[in-house]
Amino acid sequence: MPHPHRTPGAALSPLTDAATTLGLRLLDIPLPLPPVIIGMAWHPRHAADGAHHWLRDAVRRTLGVPPGSRR
């Protein structure tokens, strides 16, 4: 089922490669859903932690948020 908000030729989900590797299929949700606001918060001592930084960036990439964006 084609995604109603995806334009032809649009990029695949950032989860496509992982799903394919695991033998999973990604399916579009068959009904309209309201937008979901997701926020991240962490203790300031973790701001410079490399692993924590990687995790925050991985979440942003998965959600399609541009690097450095604070939306």
pLDDT tens digits for range 14-35: 778 888 899 998 888 899 999 8
Per-residue confidence band for 67, with pLDDT thresholds at 50, 70 and 90: low
Model pTM?
0.51
Determine if residue 63 is left, alpha or beta; phi over 0 gives left, psi from -120 to 50 gives alpha, anything else beta.
alpha
Looking at residue 4, its pLDDT comes to 44
Give 48 or 71, the one with higher predicted confidence.
48
Residues 39, 62: Cα–Cα separation, whole Å: 14
Looking at residue 9, its pLDDT comes to 53
Dihedral (CA of 11, 67, 70, 52) sign: positive
Looking at residue 61, its pLDDT comes to 83
Backbone angles phi, psi at 20, to 5 degrees: -60, -45
